[in-house]
Amino acid sequence: MYLAAVIRSRTALSIEEIVEGGLCIGCGLCQALAGADKIQIVLTPEGRERPVARDGLDAAMLERINAICPGTRVEGAATDALGPQAMHDLVWGPAQHMAIGYASDPTVRHRAATGGVLTALGQFLLASGRVKFILHAAASSKEPMRTERALSFDAASVLNAAGSRYGPAAPLVDFSALLDRAEPFALIAKPCDIAAVLNLARIDSRVDRYMRYALTFVCGGASDLTKSEEVVSELGIRPDELSLFRYRGNGCPGPTRLETKDGRSFELTYQDMWKDEAKWRIQPRCKICPDAIGESADLAAADVWPGGGPTGEDEGFNGIIVRTLRGLELYRAALAAGAITALPRDIGFRDFDDFQPHQVRKKRAVWARLAGMRAAGCPIPETHNLRLAECARLNGLAENLAEARGARRRTEQGRMGEPPAIER
């Protein structure tokens, strides 16, 4: 029924139109759906992972891809997942509970990004037998700057993959094959990856049957691989010399650390790594993200940085937004088991405004940015249950007009889109 509604509502976009329109984030789910013989995720010259369609992609498959792509459709939390006691906020969406917490194991807390809550929850899900494996992302063992899909079946493997990965990642490239395993699992991934999988759930009942939990982080955007390549170049290192490229972890926010096969090491502070916003190399899709705060996940974890940025190193604390009833049961069980610890402090939506002010600005800006792209004749994602127009009304008319006009101008200049996807 859902797929038929999508087909009736608009003509399906081609893979090329999705990519060149700046809507693709490179999650890999289209490859999983069509098969690697029909669609292949490649690394482009711009440093992005993008799908390239091969011969034989028929209209029916293209319609299915449009139905699941997080570049064409993004939806907030399902009402039946929330229950009547959920709190709601115009900007931050639904929440069952909010807290500041961290992984109780000091090793996990130190090594993982921020406070290690997502890592600790992944370990708890495996140890408690709630799932058979965790689907997430990890640094490539062969090319340390690259990020690859990872499966973890034990706590050590989850910890080994801990730490932020800011570059391109396609964790869903073989998602159909993982469903074929017919085993319960949890997904820990970017909000857009979770949006893709929940889109798939509307046309494939196996998602709800086997994906027991979807956990995410409040996302600042995925950078192109060229960001990392520029860092390596500035340090005078060749990519093939690297044995480690770790963005964050081993403290909070933790240093970006590079190690070479011949024993050299280099570290950059978080502030040094990200001080020049012009060099962040954030992918186009991230600049119009309707849900960077993980509204459709069971639980979202955020940095706790009053004012929006770190002022130094600390022990590591996560802002926790428990979204669904399923997430609330998991959160309480993990607390009771001692996997995570929560501070005895009442936390509310306005605290998250302070921790993540850039997310508030983006949520209020997205509706106008999409309106500007649409006015320039560019396709935009279909959105549901995300209150984008209502958030835009928090702005003044002049602010919304400036956002819309800016997005239209950038779209007409080609800056909101991308070149055709080709492999490096």
Is residue 55 within 8 A of residue 47, CB to CB? The reply is no
Query: What is the per-residue pLDDT across 88-130, written as a single tens digit (0 to 9) for each?
Result: 999 999 999 999 999 999 999 999 999 999 999 999 999 999 9
Statement: residue 3 has pLDDT above 60: no
Tens of pLDDT along 28-39?
A: 999 999 999 999
Quote the pTM value.
0.95
The pLDDT confidence band at residue 8, using thresholds 50, 70 and 90, is very low
Place of tokens 């917490």: 101
Cα distance from N-terminal residue to C-terminal residue, the chain: 40
389-410: average pLDDT: 98
- The residues near 25 (Cβ < 8 Å, ≥ 6 apart) are 70, 71, 190, 192, 222, 283, 285, 286
332 CB-side CA count, 13 A: 9
